C-alpha cells in the first residue's frame, strides 16, 4: 500500500539532496518518478529541484491553486509512476496535502514530501502542519546548531546580518539568509534577555 511521507528539518540539512538521491535510485532501476517544487522557488532555476552540493533535476511546479490529485491522474495516464517527490512541501496548502494523500490512497503512488517544519518565528507552515497531522510516516532530517546540539529552529537575517524577528512567513532567498539553531540558541537570538 502506498504511503504519504514527510521528511522535515530546518534549513541546510540536506533535504533536497536526499530527495534527488531517492529519485535517482528509482530511475536507475528503470522506474519513473515525478518531482514537484513550488513554482515561485526558482533558486535552482525555474522548475528545478537543486541541492547545495550541486545536484539538480527537472521538476514540475505547483501553485497554490493547483489540484495536485488531478495533475497526478493526468501524469499517471502517461505511464506508471513508481514514486512522487515534492520539495519545499511547507509551501503546499492544506487542501494540496489532502490531495497528495489521495494520490497515495487512491492512485497507489507513494508520495515523499520534504520541507521545513517551522518558519523563522517558530510557527508551523500550513503545509507542514497538515503533513505532520496526516502523513503516514514522519522522518526528521537532522542538522546541528553551532553548539553541537540538534538544530530544530531557523533564524532569518537581513542583508546586514541582523536578526529579523517579524515579517512575512515566506521569503525565498539564498542560504546565507538563514541560520539553523537548537531551540535554546534560537530563543537566545530571537528573545534577547531571555537567557538573563
Domains of the chain, with CATH numbers? Answer: 4-141 (3.40.50.300)
Query: Please, which pLDDT band fits residue 169 given cuts at 50, 70 and 90?
Result: low
Which pLDDT score is estimated for 172?
A: 62
The helices-and-strands tally (H runs, E runs) of the chain is 5, 11
Q: What is the mean pLDDT of the chain?
A: 86
Which pLDDT score is estimated for 191?
A: 81
- C-alpha 188/C-alpha 86 separation (Å) is 33
E strands present in 39-174 = 48-50, 56-58, 60-62, 83-86, 111-116, 137-140, 153-157, 163-164
HSE-CB at 41 with a 13 A cutoff on CA atoms is 27
Is beta strand 153-157 parallel, antiparallel or unpaired with respect to 178-181?
antiparallel
Question: pLDDT tens digits, residue range 87-138?
Answer: 999 999 999 999 999 999 999 999 999 998 988 888 899 999 999 999 999 9
- C-alpha 171/C-alpha 177 separation (Å) is 10
**Which residues share a beta bridge with 60?**
36
Residue with cell 518565528: 121
Active site residue 80: no
Q: Are 84 and 2 in contact (CB under 8 A)?
A: no
Question: At residue 32, does pLDDT exceed 70?
Answer: yes
- Look up residue 104 and give its three cell numbers: 497515495
- The separation between the first and the last C-alpha atoms of the chain, rounded to the nearest angstrom, is 52
Interval 16-22 mean pLDDT: 88
Please identify which of the residues 28, 88, 94, 140 carries the catalytic annotation: 88
The model's pTM:
0.83
Amino acid at each position: 500500500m502506498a504511503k504519504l511521507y514527510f521528511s522535515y528539518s530546518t534549513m541546510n540539512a540536506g533535504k533536497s539532496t536526499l530527495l534527488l538521491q531517492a529519485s535517482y535510485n528509482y530511475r536507475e532501476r528503470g522506474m519513473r518518478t515525478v518531482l514537484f517544487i513550488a513554482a515561485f522557488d526558482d533558486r535552482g532555476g525555474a522548475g528545478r529541484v537543486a541541492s547545495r552540493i550541486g545536484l539538480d533535476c527537472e521538476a514540475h511546479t505547483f501553485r497554490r491553486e493547483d489540484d495536485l490529485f488531478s495533475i497526478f491522474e493526468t501524469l499517471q495516464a502517461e505511464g506508471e509512476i513508481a514514486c512522487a517527490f515534492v520539495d519545499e512541501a511547507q509551501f503546499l496548502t492544506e487542501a494540496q496535502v489532502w490531495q497528495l494523500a489521495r494520490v497515495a490512497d487512491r492512485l497507489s503512488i507513494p508520495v515523499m514530501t520534504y520541507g521545513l517544519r517551522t518558519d523563522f518565528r517558530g510557527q508551523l507552515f500550513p503545509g507542514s502542519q497538515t503533513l505532520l497531522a496526516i502523513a503516514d510516516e514522519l522522518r526528521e532530517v537532522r542538522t546541528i546548531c553551532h553548539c553541537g546540539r540538534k538544530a530544530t529552529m531557523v533564524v532569518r537575517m537581513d542583508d546586514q546580518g541582523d536578526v529579523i524577528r517579524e515579517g512575512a512567513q515566506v521569503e525565498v532567498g539564498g542560504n546565507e539568509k538563514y541560520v539553523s539553531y537548537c531551540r535554546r540558541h534560537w530563543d537566545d537570538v530571537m528573545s534577547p534577555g531571555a537567557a538573563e
